[in-house]
Amino acid sequence: MKLKAVFLPVAGLIVLLMGSWSFKPERAPVARKPNIILIVSDDLGYGDVGFNGQTKIQTPNLDRMAAEGLVFRQQYAGTAVCGPSRAALLTGIHTAHATVRELSEWSLNGKPADLLPSDVTVAEELKRAGYQTGMIGKWGLDEGGTTGNALAQGFDYFYGFKTHREAHHYYPEYLWQNNEKVLLPGNDCARKIGTYSNDTFASQALTFIQKHRDGPFFLYLPFTLPHNELTVPDDSKQPYQTLGWPERPMKVAHYHHDPDGNLAYAGMVSRLDRYVGQIMAELKKQKLDENTLIMFTSDNGPGFDDGFFDSNGPFRGKKFQLYEGGIRVPFVARWPGTIKAGSVTSHACAFWDFLPTVCELAGVRPSATIDGISYLPTLLGKPKAQKRHDFFYWEINEREGPIQAVVMGAWKGIRFYEKPFELYNLRTDPGETANLADQHPEVVARLKAVMTETRTEHPEFPLTKRKARY
């Protein structure tokens, strides 16, 4: 009610004010828990976005996220390939201890690399805090069709690809909605016609936001862009067709690529950016903007670029490698009114830090033993309250493996199978150009000890040389 104070006698005004001072509510108002949206791209490099220096590919919506939010300069993926990287993201446990350490094709006996009932995901934790949970896009942790099912791992709603090989094609015959196949009539992978799968993911995400606008909700939104195969509708390639770029012819085999890889790749990244813009617009439309933390990252380093796009930015390496280019990924967080706009942090964090971060935000403690540390203080602009890791650990066995890596402060150590140890000072040499192993044997010994001591054995993922079971 608006008070017309100019017409009140002075005494009456004083009485009114005294009454308001003496009023004591029965209980303090409960703060509304924020909605949480995590968007994950697939094989997008650190340097593929404008806010990290990309000049050829247009990413205006992601750049706006950065201008209105916080950019992390040293965020690490779970590892350098999708499945185990996503497992680390969802469970808060890195590959030294994880249930999923490789894709199924690289397990010792070919057993499906799935999450188990004993794994506690971020969705399960947030449900304890009263959140509605949705997973839309590429799951990739249900290879065996049993315990890894997203609905068995804390998600109320699932739409997308269950397995990583299903996600290799953009015009699939079907997608999954919960446990039912949804046929996509008219789709033809080879001819690349029909419904573009990621368009449906974006549409489903908007519907999920609308349906759960009263919140709180957690939406995990892992698109498959710009993973192979390289194909995208023509409207996303159009802005790049007259720029005179060198063509990159693509061979068609398992992946039904478009003829020119450079045009397709740029168009895929820009289409992904378009989806991000649609989601931010929907949040504003639903008046959820200031009560939603939205984050964007990638599951590992780039898998396509041959140098034309500088997809790995200033770093060495790419997907399947544990050099910085394979595991350091773009990361931006936006929360209007809470996160300071246009801010940048050098705080080092990793995928396994996501779970404790949102748990702290939601007011619950992780119910399992994890490797992660919450970076909520960094999000809130309180660097003095931020705890830091003693070290970060990764392993991978695909193609060049087994490989282990540890980052401890400025030092980065990489141990290859039956090859010399590599040591880099990331503070002075972020591009990992100068191997200092011979000059610092004491640092090498310390990092080797960490690699050995922190790792627990897993019968399907020993550190032995092996080939994929394709």
DSSP codes joined into one string, 336-390: TTTSPTTEEEEEEEEGGGHHHHHHHHHT---SS--S----HHHHTT-GGG----S
Shared-domain flag, residues 299 and 237: yes
Strands lying side by side in the sheet with 174-177: 180-183, 174-177, 157-161, 132-138, 217-222, 35-41, 292-298, 331-334, 70-76, 343-350
Q: Residue 292: which of 284, 301, 300 has the closest Cα? A: 284
Cα 93 from Cα 88, distance rounded (Å) = 5
Residue 291: C-alpha distances to residues 324, 342, 355 (Å): 34, 18, 19
As a whole number, mean pLDDT of residues 402-413 equals 98
Shared-domain flag, residues 401 and 356: no
Kindly compute the dihedral angle of the four CA atoms of residues 160, 51, 73, 415, in this order, to the nearest 10 degrees. 60
User: With bands split at pLDDT 50, 70 and 90, how would you rate the model's confidence at 13?
Assistant: very low
Domain that holds residue 410: 393-454
Bridge partners (DSSP) listed for residue 332: 71, 296
User: With bands split at pLDDT 50, 70 and 90, how would you rate the model's confidence at 31?
Assistant: low
User: With bands split at pLDDT 50, 70 and 90, how would you rate the model's confidence at 469?
Assistant: confident
Shared-domain flag, residues 311 and 425: no
Residue-wise pLDDT for 181-190, tens only, equals 999 999 999 9
What percent of the chain has a predicted confidence (pLDDT) above 90? 90
Residue-wise pLDDT for 258-294, tens only, equals 999 999 999 999 999 999 999 999 999 999 999 999 9
Q: What is the pLDDT of residue 467?
A: 82
Tokens of 205: 């995400």
Residue 153 belongs to a domain: yes
User: With bands split at pLDDT 50, 70 and 90, how would you rate the model's confidence at 36?
Assistant: very high
Residue 465 belongs to a domain: no
Q: Is a pLDDT exceeding 50 seen at residue 172?
A: yes
Shared-domain flag, residues 182 and 320: yes
Task: Tell me the CATH number at 399.
Answer: 3.30.1120.10
Residue that wins the pLDDT comparison between 65 and 306: 65
Cα 216 from Cα 144, distance rounded (Å) = 32
User: With bands split at pLDDT 50, 70 and 90, how would you rate the model's confidence at 300?
Assistant: very high
Angle (deg, nearest 10), helices 354-362 and 82-91: 30
- Residue 462 CB burial class (10 angstroms; 0-12, 13-18, ≥19): middle
Q: What is the pLDDT of residue 198?
A: 98
Q: What is the pLDDT of residue 10?
A: 37
The rounded mean pLDDT for the chain is 93
Q: What is the pTM of this model?
A: 0.93
Task: Tell me the CATH number at 77.
Answer: 3.40.720.10
Residue-wise pLDDT for 235-260, tens only, equals 999 999 999 999 999 999 999 999 99
| 38 contacts 355 by C-beta, under 8 angstroms | no
Overall number of domains in the chain = 2
Integer Rg of the chain from CA = 24
- H or E stretch including 61? helix 60-67
Q: What is the pLDDT of residue 470?
A: 64
Residues 6+ apart with CB under 8 A from 306: 248
Q: What is the pLDDT of residue 421?
A: 98
Shared-domain flag, residues 401 and 360: no
Strands lying side by side in the sheet with 411-416: 392-396, 403-408, 411-416, 422-425
Q: What is the pLDDT of residue 2?
A: 34
Residue-wise pLDDT for 320-345, tens only, equals 999 999 999 999 999 999 999 999 99
User: With bands split at pLDDT 50, 70 and 90, how would you rate the model's confidence at 193?
Assistant: very high
Q: Is a pLDDT exceeding 90 seen at residue 19?
A: no
As a whole number, mean pLDDT of residues 43-49 equals 98
Cα 224 from Cα 460, distance rounded (Å) = 27
Shared-domain flag, residues 62 and 186: yes
Phi, psi angle pair for 161, to nearest 5°: -100, 130
Is the four-CA dihedral 253, 138, 314, 62 of positive or negative sign?
A: positive
Identify the domain boundary among 389, 411, 441.
Answer: 389
User: With bands split at pLDDT 50, 70 and 90, how would you rate the model's confidence at 221?
Assistant: very high
Q: Residue 111: which of 145, 88, 79, 139 has the closest Cα? A: 145
Shared-domain flag, residues 296 and 266: yes
Identify the domain boundary among 346, 368, 389.
Answer: 389
Residue 2 belongs to a domain: no
Residues 6+ apart with CB under 8 A from 61: 273, 274, 276, 277, 280
| 251 contacts 172 by C-beta, under 8 angstroms | no
Kindly compute the dihedral angle of the four CA atoms of residues 152, 153, 155, 158, in this order, to the nearest 10 degrees. -70
What percent of the chain has a predicted confidence (pLDDT) above 70? 93
Identify the domain boundary among 389, 418, 439.
Answer: 389
Q: What is the pLDDT of residue 25?
A: 38
Pairing mode of beta strands 70-76, 392-396: unpaired
| 261 contacts 188 by C-beta, under 8 angstroms | no
Shared-domain flag, residues 154 and 291: yes
Bridge partners (DSSP) listed for residue 222: 40
| 345 contacts 75 by C-beta, under 8 angstroms | no
- The DSSP-derived string for 179-195 is TEEEE-TT-BTTTTBS-
Shared-domain flag, residues 270 and 193: yes
Q: Is a pLDDT exceeding 50 seen at residue 8?
A: no
As a whole number, mean pLDDT of residues 193-222 equals 98
| 61 contacts 51 by C-beta, under 8 angstroms | no
User: With bands split at pLDDT 50, 70 and 90, how would you rate the model's confidence at 110?
Assistant: confident
Cis peptide bond prior to 226, omega within 30° of 0: yes
As a whole number, mean pLDDT of residues 166-171 equals 97
| Chain centroid, CA 165 distance in Å | 19
Cα 368 from Cα 361, distance rounded (Å) = 17
